Amino acid sequence: MPEQKQSSPLVDGLLVQIPDNDPEETSEWIESLDDLIEERGANRTRYVMLAMLNAARRKNVSVPASFTTPYINTIPAQDEPYFPGDENTERAYRRWIRWNAAVQVTRAQRPGIGVGGHISSYASVSTLYEVGFNHFFRGKSHPGGGDHIFFQGHASPGIYARAFLEGRLSEEEMDGFRQEVSTPSGLPSYPHPRQLPNFWEYPTVSMGLGPAEAIYQAWFDKYLHLNGIKDTSEQHTWAFLGDGEMDEPESRGMLQTAAAQNLDNLTFVVNCNLQRLDGPVRGNGKIIQELESYFKGAGWNVIKVIWGRGWDGLLAADKDHALVHLMDEVRDGDYQTLKANDGAYVREHFFGRDPRTKELVKNWSDEQIWELRRGGHDYRKVYAAYDAALKHKGRPTVILAHTIKGYALGEHFAGRNATHQMKKLTLEDQKALRDRLHIPITDEELEKDPYKPPYYMPDKDDPALRYMLERREALGGYLPSRHREDPHLELPGEKTYKMMTKGSGKQKVATTMALVRLLKELMRDKNIGKRFVPIIPDEARTFGLDAMFPTAKIFNVHGQNYTAVDHDLMLSYKESEQGRLMHTGINEAGSAALMQVVGTSYATHNVPMIPFYIFYSMFGFQRTGDQFWAAGDQLTRGFVIGATAGRTTLTGEGTQHMDGHSPVLAATNPAFVHYDPAYAYEIGHIFRDGLQRMYGDPGDRDPNVMYYLTVYNEPIVQPAQPENVDVEGILRGIHKIDEAAPDRPVVNLLASGVAVPWARHARELLLNDWGIGANVWSVTSWGELRRDGMEANRKNYLDPDHYTKPYVTAKLENTGGPFVASTDFDHILPDLLREWIPGRYYTLGADGFGFSDTRPAARRHFLIDAESMVVRALQAMADDGMIERDLIRQAIEKYDLMNVNATSHRVDDSDDSVA
């Protein structure tokens, strides 16, 4: 082991090695401090010291703040609470779980299967879980409602192994690990609610997303409680995380929110095994100390669980703190190496660094030294930490637990850099692990098939098994689990949506504003109004939601303890403990996490809530696509609103604001149903259908979806709903809004969203300038039409005797003429339908990066405006032999097509104020 470099005289800004020019005086002060601690205790001593520091600051004597404590347990041995369980009994079945978890992964690596798994992660976290399962984690049947547990993704074999002992999973299901379609009882590799919906609650294996969601789960529980929707006062959120995972921005980026909102119903348990997938997390540093400083700085209560009870005597005998100093000085890379060797190595390379620490263990055998545990593997130390976390009020708590990756698996696994990728136990490993865990399985049984070592299931009357089951019964049932009920809401009738059908008269109203008006109306509904939860990442004023500040108010657990600068205005900014708007600040990642939480309340709380997450559409799928994917995995329901959509509509902004592709990204997520409505009446039908599907009777449709609506900030005159409107077409993705003039050559114009008015203007130009008729189709959902087409293809592929016609094909056939499509998005979006368009098909699109300019100039630049549609239509008709090709050149010249300032269809951008 390399020799440590000379340590810095500064530790957290405090001098520790400067020469003392008056040691006698220093000794007197230290003696006084010792007397104070002995006579008055730690709490009084802390108060006095803080008072002295405050007095020093007032006299301009500056002392740097310290955000770390010595590398020892936060809770002294003498302050540990009584452990209420039977430790020997709990150890017995913890060993069974360890064995079965390792066997499950080994069997999954058998010849012909080879899907592997991770053995070492659960080995490091087992004790942390089992203390919780036996004494803290409350199930769904608990009178308080049950806890929310975010399990570490890679440790799933241990959770399955426990469920096996509980009788929840069969041996066949255990053997179906990572074989979800090739076996009738497959289990997903990690916590995936979509794949195992009655078992898993939170998808956590995309690292960093779990910590973010856990924070917002705890915050939302406060929201439910303070708004009188559900009593969540006894519910607690536990998030089990890896130390390597804490490098993800989402893992640390929202810690301040938890502290600012006093989320004492939240506990992070960071499994600090010092290793990530490839090697040490901080080989040259100390990740536990680093995390302590981060969490303390963010306002969290920090509990370190570093050393097991075997170290207590050594620390008590460490009169001059040489051992504590050594613990502080040794780096994580060395701690990892120490546990990959043996007791003799630890004696020489750890205790042997200082003659005083070497003296502490001079009468210890190498075996005794080797048996010294890290704190995260000591039942009593972990219990003390959990107990303290639940009793701490006013702040969230993080427990930093020192563990060993591959613990108890043997020398080939424990602490090794490659341990994360090791997929199976060799026969030698199996026998050694069996012996360490005292599993009653013979050599003959193991040698029979080394790829299929047997699971261990005790007799059903075994006292340890009965004890385990009784503990879960006392705590409210098995975990993890999801509520199986799916309560439906009483939904509003047609009257609520009537306002969306009347049009706007002469007033110009953007579709964003129209949707917000509908939301306000729905939030007033006596049955479901309180179920709506608007989620806003600091853009309420942009979307017209600021009008709700004085009435709905912004949720804050502290209420509003200041005078708002606009308090005398009608639309004053107001926060409240009963606020209904969840304003997350400039934080799309936090908003997306909150969307997951609110949208799964029907399962986590058996209380359906309706998220209405509205944001700049560019900062949705592009920025938080991973979270949206996790939301789909979690069976989230609700409305996701990409406001200010389009590559040219958000006038005056720029490249990073202009969304030309979110519908394309949305089309790749099977949990999203995307609509790009042009008019308010379309929005009304879509929103009503979304509520019915997700919160009412869905019929034969999957209710576990999210409706993504792209809406715009461009004010337009909203037309009244036509008579005999094609509601089915609106919902399925396409309906006709204008008929072609009779007795003329015909072309079909397809458009969506803000492009529909361009298409209608193009229809006028075609008729007036070129004598051509045009049907105009509003394509409310390119993505849903594509899914329908793909499903038809699949049916025709697998059932060649019966032909299924795609909906868009049936809708457009026999309309005559070619087809031209334009949107305010990339060409890719209308190209999604190319296969099923029954005729020549040309698309226009806003490809590339957006930029700042007027809407007309930008649209002419991308060649997507009305005049561009006309020229493209003439080209299509010429290619079909319907007109002379010379008309194309005439049209280009007539409209001065390549001049971005030559457009006949300008929009008054000053009208944006109503958007």
- Cα–Cα nearest to 837, from 876, 871, 863: 876
In the 8-state DSSP scheme, what is residue 127? Answer: H
| Tokens representing residue 155 in the block | 């440790």
Q: Which alpha helices (H) appear in 561-676, and where do they start and end?
A: 588-599, 601-604, 621-633, 662-666
Residues in CB range of 586: below 8 A, 6 or more apart: 537, 538
Q: Which alpha helices (H) appear in 438-509, and where do they start and end?
A: 443-448, 463-474, 494-497
- Cα–Cα nearest to 535, from 597, 482, 604: 597
**Dihedral of alpha carbons 215, 216, 219, 225, sign:** negative
| Residues 903/856, Cβ–Cβ less than 8 Å | yes
Within a 10 A sphere around the Cβ of 631, how many other Cβ atoms? 30
CA-derived radius of gyration, the chain: 33
Q: What share of the chain is helix, strand, coil (3-state, %, to 5)?
A: 45, 10, 45
| Residues 361-381 as b or e (16 or more Cβ within 10 Å = b) | beebeeeebbebbbbbbbbbb
Q: Is residue 899 annotated as involved in ligand binding?
A: no
| Tokens representing residue 872 in the block | 């493209």
| Residues 864/845, Cβ–Cβ less than 8 Å | yes
Q: Is residue 243 annotated as involved in ligand binding?
A: yes
- Cα–Cα nearest to 168, from 187, 151, 192: 187
Interior CA angle at 249 toward 248 and 254, to 5°? 125
Q: Phi and psi dihedrals of 271, rounded to 5?
A: -80, 95
The overall longest dimension of the chain from CA atoms, in Å, is 110
| Tokens representing residue 332 in the block | 């994580």
- Cα–Cα nearest to 549, from 574, 513, 517, 580: 574
| Residues 235/148, Cβ–Cβ less than 8 Å | yes
**Dihedral of alpha carbons 306, 312, 318, 319, sign:** positive
Secondary structure of residue 384 in the 3-state scheme: helix
Residues in CB range of 100: below 8 A, 6 or more apart: 161, 164, 165, 174, 455, 456
Q: Is residue 273 annotated as involved in ligand binding?
A: yes
- Cα–Cα nearest to 167, from 376, 466, 439: 466
Give burial (CB, 10 Å; 0-12/13-18/19+) of 597.
buried
CA distance 254 to 250: 7
CA distance 559 to 553: 10
Query: How far, CA to CA in Å, does 153 sit from each of 5, 23, 448, 501, 826?
Result: 38, 54, 32, 48, 36
741 Cα distance to chain centroid: 52
Name the helix (H) or strand (E) containing 287. helix 287-298
Secondary structure of residue 709 in the 3-state scheme: strand
| Residues 151/240, Cβ–Cβ less than 8 Å | yes
Binding-site entries for Mg(2+): 243, 273, 275
Binding-site entries: 243, 273, 275
